[in-house]
A and B are shown apart, each in its own frame.
Chain A
Amino acid sequence: MKLRARTLLVLLAIVSATLAAMSGSVAPPPAADEVSALDLAQWLRARRQGLLLVDVRTAEAFDADRLPGARLLADVDTAALRQAETVVVYADASADAGALHGISNAPSSVPHVLRLYGGIVAWNDEVLFPVLRADASARQQREFATRALLSRYFGGSPRLLDPGAAPTRGRSRRGC
């Protein structure tokens, strides 16, 4: 390979790796109109003023499982929207843009409408039932203690995963 092409590839790898280190997480960051489950949990715990949670799922799904203080979309009236400063809509995985658009264009449109990133699935996984591996380091255990407190605050239960006893994926792959 020519020296110039090799230098270019090395530079590309260095730039890409530096940006990766700056990005930190491998998960896509929430968009400008989204809020993460952990951030929403902190808002709820801090009793943020003017926060309205709107569930855009079916009434059956809402009855079975919902976020604390959430209201079903059909039950949200204009007065509630007028009082709200921030509206967070959520669905199972992620609320579609249609629900967001509908609330933003309501007659008494609220200034700040957000979608819950990952929906109620993310709320359950990250807030209510966070998982700590049994072989976690002391530092990871200390960091998890904060998540565990938040989980218990909302009535959840942090889980301890024994990775050896409970393989999470059954498929097999081999090769070199």
Chain B
Amino acid sequence: MSAPLIADEALGASLGAAVALGAAFGFALERAGLGSARKLVGQFYGRDLAVMKVMFSALVVAMLGVFWLSRWGLLDLRAVYVPLTYLWPQLFGGLVFGAGLVVAGLCPGTACVAAATGRVDGVFVLLGFLAGMIGVGLVLGSFADFYTSGAHGAWTLPELTGLPYGSVVAAVVVLALAAFAGAEWFERRVR
């Protein structure tokens, strides 16, 4: 037997798994202190780089887990969804997202955590997201060409670089460890 264990057609099971995984993700975010806008914004002032460390840790753990589970035949990587790349709108979206993160102090996941733990700013950020989604949906037709520009399909780093999958995994781990060391050094200097 190999993962994914839930078929695409099993909508009820998929939604159940999504709720369980979402709750676990929210719990992990809250335990890491990322439900607090002050902590998230500390990243941009160089006071507290916990966001980068938590997210990079999650990325490294997931990446190594996916690599070895697939290598041992326990995960069918072909059945795992890879988000499609639309280079230009995603670069633009990243800039807008970053600006919103600095202003609001929360991203979608952490806003849910903040709202669930009774923080009023989290509720208002979620309302802002809803308003933004509705607004974008209403005018999306006018930007359809830009929305689908720079399309590269399901594009991965091994495909982009032509390097073996394992080498890319190793390079990302080295990058993460260097980033952790750099972040700790930077935090000590700022304090």
Contact = CB atoms under 8 A, between A and B. Distances in A.
Contacts of B159: 133, 136
Chain A facing B: main interface SS: loop
B162 A20 contact: no
Given A18-B170, A20-B68, A25-B165, A13 B60 contact: yes
A16 B169 CA distance: 9
A163 interface: yes
A26 B67 CA distance: 6
A14 B71 CA distance: 17
A139 interface: yes
Nearest to B169: A20
Interface stretch (A50-58, A72-80, A168-176): A168-176
A14 B177 CA distance: 9
B132 interface: no
Contacts of A17: 64, 169-170, 173-174
Contacts of A22: 166
Contacts of B153: 133, 161, 163-164, 166-168
B32 to A, nearest CB: 12
B152 interface: yes
B110 to A, nearest CB: 8
B146 to A, nearest CB: 14
Choose among B64, B109, B150, B166 the residue with the greatest number of A CB atoms under 10 Å from its CB. Answer: B166
B152 A163 contact: yes
A139 B177 CA distance: 30
Contact of B8 (A10, A25, A28, A171): A171
A26 B81 contact: no
A83 interface: no
B8 to A, nearest CB: 7
Interface of A: 10, 13-14, 16-18, 20-28, 133, 135-137, 139-140, 143, 161, 163-169, 171-176
20 contacts: A13-B60, A14-B177, A16-B64, A20-B67, A20-B68, A20-B166, A21-B167, A24-B164, A25-B164, A26-B67, A28-B70, A28-B71, A133-B153, A135-B152, A140-B162, A163-B152, A164-B150, A166-B153, A168-B153, A169-B84
Given A20-B64, A27-B70, A172-B83, 14 more contacts: A16-B64, A21-B166, A24-B167, A25-B164, A25-B165, A26-B67, A26-B70, A27-B71, A161-B153, A163-B154, A164-B152, A167-B151, A167-B154, A176-B107
